[in-house]
């Protein structure tokens, strides 16, 4: 028995975040149910045959889809403003599915050099083994993106803002370059989420998510998703998913589904704290520079404000002062190790503030020269700002900064 009301058209994003879902209520439950089942019984053999052949809708097996996963997909698609969405086991699972669904040997990808390290490895090394070519370009130099296009270019891949330097690229301009070349543009929207930035409205064809970050928002599950047109998802991605099994578990989908309900207020509150913390750090005598799109000193500040609903997001990084790489590293470690609140961990997107040293963790496998080229110095500290009181966060950073 379905008891949920039919949603009227034209609802605002805040409303869709708490209401959009597949109507599967059985007992009038107000929270969406969690369907923790691997398979679905069929009423009879004829129906089973039609469903397996794709001639009739109906749930079959949770590797294909599941009502809880479908509810998460429907809610995220509503927030991103796309026709459809497909959940995946992780953010990297989403990028794997994207590449498997869209590319074949001999195709070419143009990707920003500043995207998440595993994304570069997956595209360049793993898909490279299967004959996919790739070129990596400057995040912000549109001329480089244009110059990298070849007749076999099928996909442009961008992430904005990037981790940890928060570089911002122009989504609309990249969509124009991609479409002019007959290629698609995929944008990793992990840092801004649809609460701040809707890449589809700016021309992106596919939006990539690590649900592990802000969509969950409380550091509980690993999850991912791709948002795109129904044609692309039904025609290119679902067939691969059915065979490849990079499936989002119903439990993780349910956690993300409920996380989406508070996404807007979390992003706003965490961005507000990040801006205040960034401004405070920028004025601090022990800080050499701050990287945060919400600051006027950020090289793409105006673009970021246009593209990100006037907000900078919740991730910032800063360089502590120091004359040599050894001193820079010692000072950065001092700031990190003197914190008593912030978590030293590899994630971001949590309501608990997270602090890391990119040069020795996420970018630790690069040589000093490669890190230098990427602008990741030993002095860099990244902070993914959570929901703690700002005074407590400032006090937590002051402890170490005062010792440098
Ligand atoms: C921007 C970005 N994209 C994708 C991923 C991969 O997500 P997951 O860890 O869920 O596989 C990450 C993870 O840190 C990320 O920061």
Give the distance (Å) from ligand 1 centre to CA of residue 203.
Answer: 22
pLDDT digits (tens, 9 = 90+) for 318-336: 999 999 999 999 999 999 9
Nearest residue (CA) to ligand 1, atom 15: 116
Whether ligand 1 lies within 6 angstroms of the CB of 190 is answered as: yes
- How high is the mean pLDDT of the chain? 95
pLDDT at 266: 98
pLDDT at 23: 67
Tokens of 155: 């996909």
Whether ligand 1 lies within 6 angstroms of the CB of 73 is answered as: no
Given pLDDT bands bounded at 50, 70 and 90, which one contains residue 2? low
Nearest residue (CA) to ligand 1, atom 16: 116
Residue 5, C-beta contacts closer than 8 angstroms, at least 6 positions apart: none
375/183: higher pLDDT: 183
Length of the chain: 404
Give the distance (Å) from ligand 1 centre to CA of residue 92.
Answer: 6
pLDDT digits (tens, 9 = 90+) for 198-236: 999 999 999 999 999 999 999 999 999 999 999 999 999
279: buried, middle or exposed (CB in 10 Å: 19+, 13-18, 0-12)? Answer: middle
Tokens of 391: 């005074």
Give the distance (Å) from ligand 1 centre to CA of residue 86.
Answer: 16
Residue 361, C-beta contacts closer than 8 angstroms, at least 6 positions apart: 346
Whether ligand 1 lies within 6 angstroms of the CB of 91 is answered as: yes
pLDDT at 4: 61
pLDDT at 24: 67
Q: DSSP class of residue 110?
A: E
pLDDT digits (tens, 9 = 90+) for 99-129: 999 999 999 999 999 999 899 999 999 999 9
pLDDT at 190: 97
Q: Judge whether residue 395 has pLDDT over 60.
A: yes
pLDDT digits (tens, 9 = 90+) for 64-113: 989 999 999 999 999 999 999 999 999 999 999 999 999 999 999 999 99
Q: Judge whether residue 25 has pLDDT over 80.
A: no
Q: DSSP class of residue 367?
A: -
| Ligand 1 atom with least separation from CA of 191 | 1
CA distance 139 to 121: 17
Given pLDDT bands bounded at 50, 70 and 90, which one contains residue 3? low
pLDDT at 364: 84
Backbone angles phi, psi at 184, to 5 degrees: -105, 155
CA distance 69 to 317: 34
6/36: higher pLDDT: 36
């Amino acid at each position: 028995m379905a008891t949920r009301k039919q949603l009227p058209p034209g609802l605002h994003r805040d409303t869709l975040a708490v209401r959009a879902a597949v109507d599967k209520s059985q007992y009038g439950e107000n929270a969406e149910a969690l369907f923790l089942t691997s398979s679905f019984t069929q009423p009879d053999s004829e129906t089973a045959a039609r469903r397996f052949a794709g001639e009739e809708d109906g749930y079959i097996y949770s590797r294909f889809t599941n009502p809880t996963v479908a509810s998460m997909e429907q809610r995220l698609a509503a927030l991103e403003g796309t026709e459809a969405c497909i959940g995946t086991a992780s953010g990297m699972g989403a990028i794997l599915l994207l590449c498997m669904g869209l590319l074949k040997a001999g195709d070419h990808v143009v990707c920003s050099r500043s995207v998440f390290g595993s994304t570069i490895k997956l595209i360049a090394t793993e898909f490279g083994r299967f004959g996919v070519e790739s070129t990596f370009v400057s995040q912000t130099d549109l001329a480089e993106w244009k110059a990298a296009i070849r007749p076999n270019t099928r996909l442009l891949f961008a992430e904005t803002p990037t981790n940890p330097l928060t570089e911002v690229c122009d989504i609309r301009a990249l969509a124009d370059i991609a479409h002019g070349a007959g290629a698609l543009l995929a944008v990793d929207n992990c840092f801004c989420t649809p609460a701040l930035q809707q890449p589809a409205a700016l021309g992106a064809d596919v939006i990539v998510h690590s649900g592990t970050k802000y969509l969950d928002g409380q550091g509980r599950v690993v999850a991912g998703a791709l948002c795109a047109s129904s044609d692309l998802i039904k025609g290119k991605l679902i067939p691969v998913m059915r065979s490849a099994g990079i499936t989002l578990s119903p439990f993780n989908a349910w956690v993300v589904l409920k996380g989406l309900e508070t996404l807007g207020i979390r992003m706003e509150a965490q961005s507000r704290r990040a801006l205040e913390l960034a401004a405070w750090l920028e004025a601090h005598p022990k800080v050499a520079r701050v990287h945060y799109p919400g600051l006027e000193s950020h090289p793409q500040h105006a673009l970021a404000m246009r593209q990100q609903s006037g907000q900078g997001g919740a991730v910032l990084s800063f360089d502590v002062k120091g004359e040599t790489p050894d001193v820079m590293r010692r000072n950065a470690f001092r700031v990190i190790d003197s914190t008593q609140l912030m978590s030293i961990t590899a994630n971001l997107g949590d309501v608990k503030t997270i602090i890391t040293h990119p040069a020795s963790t996420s970018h630790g496998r690069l040589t000093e020269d490669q890190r230098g080229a990427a602008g990741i110095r030993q002095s860099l500290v990244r902070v993914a700002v959570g929901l703690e009181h700002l005074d407590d966060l400032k006090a937590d950073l002051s402890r170490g900064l005062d010792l440098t």
